[in-house]
Structure formats: C-alpha cells, structure tokens
Structure 1
Amino acid sequence: MTRIRRRGGLRVLDPTAFARPAPVEAAGRSVSGTRDRLLDAAERLFAEKGLRGTSLREIVAAAGQRNESAIQYHFGDREGLVDALVARRVAAIETVRNARLDALLARAPAPNVRALVACLLEPVVELCHDDSGFRAFLSAFGEVAWATALQLARNRQQLRSLERMREQLRRSLDLPEAILADRAEALTRFLLLSLSQRARSNEPFNGRGFERFFTNLTDMGAAIITADVSPDTRAAYGAD
C-alpha cells in the first residue's frame, strides 16, 4: 500500500514509489502496458475534469479495461494512482535536468545563480512544449508535484539534480545552510506554481510572449536565492 505523507496541507508521494517494479502476472508476462494505459487515461481525465471530478470507473473505461479492479491491482487506490502519475513525470524531468546540468557544468564549472535557475526551469518548459500530456499533468498536478519534489529531494538518488544544484549554490553563496534550504524550497514552489498556472491557461510555451515570461521568471527565481539577508533574518535564524 502506498504511504502518503503530508507537508503544509499537501499530499506528498512516498519516495519508494520510484523504486517499485512493474507488476507481473502469474504467468510471468509484464503488465506494464496496462499500467501505462491506466496512467495515460487518468492523466488526461484529471486534466479535463479535475481530481475530484473523475471516477475510477471512468479511468478504467478510458484505458480500455474491462476489469473495474484494474486500478486496485496496479496502484492500490486513487492516491496510489496519483502517486504513480507524479512519480512518472518527475522522473522524466529529472532525466532531462541532469543532462542539462551536465552540459552547463561542462561549459562553466562555476555557473552563476541565474544559469542554475534557468537549468531548473528548462526541462519543465521543454516537456510542456513538446508533450501535451505533460502540460496536462502540470495543469492538474502542479501543487502535488511540488510537494512531491520537496519530499523526494531528501533522497539524493531520486532527485540528484536538485542536490547537485544546491551544492553549486553552497559553493558560490555565503548563506547559512538553513536560509539556503528555505530559499531553495521557496524557489521550487514559486517556479513550479508559476509554470502550472501557465499550463492551465491557453498561452503557449514558445514565442515572444513566452520568452518574456521565461526570462522574467528566471530573474525572479534568482532574486529569491540571492536577496540580501537582513540582520533581522540572520538573528531569527541564529546565524552569525
């Protein structure tokens, strides 16, 4: 059974969801194809009708399955299904982001904060532009995905790119660790919710209008990290 945690009132995915193997039928034949069809159908319907407005029966029918217990078999329950959807998409982001980060560090071993923020954003933007299913996912699951990313960030093997970026920030900024951690969390929340809001609109993820949105969002994200730390804040954190 999938374990659900809560952070700030939001559901958070159990990090072990990434490590689960695809179910296998008794005869040894993989049923990952059925699982993927259920995920695709759920993602599409959740984006169209919302999490609460979509029944499990509708998802099973849209996936072309006759057995109404298919979701229970593959995911346990509705929350397990949502967890699997988020895990699938977050894993896709992580793959692209690590590749982008490798390329960035090859060009500039000590990148500035703005370049790191852009690297954080670009995989999500690319997937929104190229994959209508991903845009539907971000539209439906923006807050859930954010909460999941924060939880999984504690597992360096699952979200290694975020830990790599934070290490670069530690090297380039003179910030107490607690302040850096809180600012990194605020940055993740701000960027993902901004992108989620755009995904819910009819505005494109390309063109001149999007370029203005992206560059300004990157600037604001960098400002979250690099803002001066006031004496009051240092005192509140007990920092010297």
Structure 2
Amino acid sequence: MTRTDRVAATRETLLDAAERLFAEHGLAQVSNRQISQEAGQGNNTAVSYHFGSKAGLVRAIVRRHAGEIERIRGAMVRRVLAAERSPGVRDWVACTVEPLARHLADLGIPSWYARFSAQAVSDPAGREAVAAEAMASPAIVRVGEELRRCLPDLPAEVRAERQEMARLLIVHTMAERERALAQGEHTPRDSWQRAAAGVTDALTGVWLAPVTEPAAGSWAD
C-alpha cells in the first residue's frame, strides 16, 4: 500500500469506530482516545491528526453518508417535478424521509448511522455540524422551498415548531428501528420502505394539522 492508501484506510477505520461508538454511547461519552483504541491505532492522537476535532470527525461521518443520500434525494426531486400532476405536501415530505430510509436499507444489518444521527442532533456541537452539512445539500434545500410553497399560510412560530417536530420524528423513528433490527427485535413495519411511508404519512398530518390558539386563562392554576 502507498502512504496515501494507508492514510485513507486509517481514516475509514477511525470513522467506522467513531460512528459505532457515538451511536451506542453518545458524542459526549466517547473520547478520541477510545476511538483510536477501538480502531486499533496505537497513536491516541490519531483522531486529532486526521480530523482536527470531534466536530470535524462528526462532519466527516455525515459526509461519508451524505453523497449517497443526496443522490437518492436528487433523483426523487427530479421524478416529482417531472410528474404530470402537481406535487403536494406528501410528495415533498416523502423526499425528506425516503432517501434516508433507502440508504439505511442499503447499509444492511447492523448499521449505526441512524443512531449516530440521533445522538448527534442531541448534542450541541453535533447538532451544529449536522445542520451545516444538511444546508450544503442542494436537494434538501430545494425540497424545503417546494414544501413551503405547498403548505397553508402558517405563523412563523408554528412553521418553526413543526420543522423541529419533523426533524425529531424522522431522526428518532429511524434510529429506533435501526436499533430494533440490530438487536433482532420486532418492528411495527416489516421493511424500511413501509417504515418510510408511515413516517411520511405522519409528517404530512403534522404539517397540515390545524393551528389552535388556546383561550386566554383556560388553564386553571
């Protein structure tokens, strides 16, 4: 192997170890030393050498999966736009859900990316890194624009609230299914495709739900 090959192989080994350890224990509970040891690296500064920081490592893990998810999502967006009927809310919600589910299906069992993502978005540093990578995706930006055009006129705070609900529902539902599959447990849906359809249906309902303002003073002290 050339030096370049050895460096690339070491990076991949570190990414494998970090993704699994972060998925199982959370970002804050895993040290760079633990990752290096799990990856079989005698040098405990290997993570810092290859990725600079834990945030850099998180971004590298996200990027390792982002290319394939972007490819799937881009193809979905093109199909939706080329369809004879006008796309609706559910079409664009599906474009946020299905690419991740398809990628997880392709990873096989066990996989750790959904659980890694759930741990990352629960960590302040990880959340910032994941959000930055998401906003670098042309397909997800386009989906967001098209979804907003289809939605009813929602107050800004309701729109932001439902966006957060959508993110949490996607990430944590996928993570729980990935965990159950890895441990050989029963799952409500028998395939990633059907699981994605269920999440898409639920999120379509979230986005189209009525907006109710409670009556002033309706809660008793």
Q: TM-score, normalised by structure 1?
A: 0.68
Distance 2:138 2:193 in 1: 28
After superposition, the CA RMSD in angstroms is 3.5
Q: Do 2:23 and 2:116's aligned partners in 1 also have CA atoms closer than 8 Å? A: yes
**Offset at residue 29 of structure 1 (A):** 4.5
User: Please, which runs of 5 or more residues in structure 1 have no aligned partner?
Assistant: 1-27, 234-240
Residue by residue over 1:76-109, the C-alpha shift from the partner in whole angstroms, topping out at 9 and shown as x without a partner, is 2334323322343344423321222122222256
Q: Matched residue pairs, number?
A: 204
Map 1:10-159 → 2, pairs under 5 A: 29=4, 31-48=7-24, 50-51=26-27, 54-108=30-84, 110-132=86-108, 135-145=111-121, 147-148=127-128, 151-152=131-132, 155=135, 158-159=136-137
Aligned residue in 2 for 1:160 = 138
Distance 2:129 2:94 in 1: 17
Letter in 2 for 1:167: E
Q: 1:144 and 1:154, CA in 2 relative to 1: closer, same or farther beyond 3 A? A: closer
Distance 1:93 1:205 in 2: 23
Map 1:193-212 → 2, pairs under 5 A: 193-202=172-181, 203=185, 208=190
Q: 1:201 and 1:207, CA in 2 relative to 1: closer, same or farther beyond 3 A? A: closer
**Offset at residue 71 of structure 1 (A):** 1.0
Q: Do 2:26 and 2:119's aligned partners in 1 also have CA atoms closer than 8 Å? A: no
Aligned residues with identical type, % of pairs: 33
Q: TM-score, normalised by structure 2?
A: 0.72
Q: 1:149 and 1:222, CA in 2 relative to 1: closer, same or farther beyond 3 A? A: farther
Letter in 1 for 2:8: S
Q: 1:50 and 1:172, CA in 2 relative to 1: closer, same or farther beyond 3 A? A: closer
Distance 1:150 1:83 in 2: 7
Q: Do 2:33 and 2:45's aligned partners in 1 also have CA atoms closer than 8 Å? A: no
Q: Do 1:139 and 1:197's aligned partners in 2 also have CA atoms closer than 8 Å? A: yes
Q: 2:205 aligns with which of 217, 223, 231?
A: 223
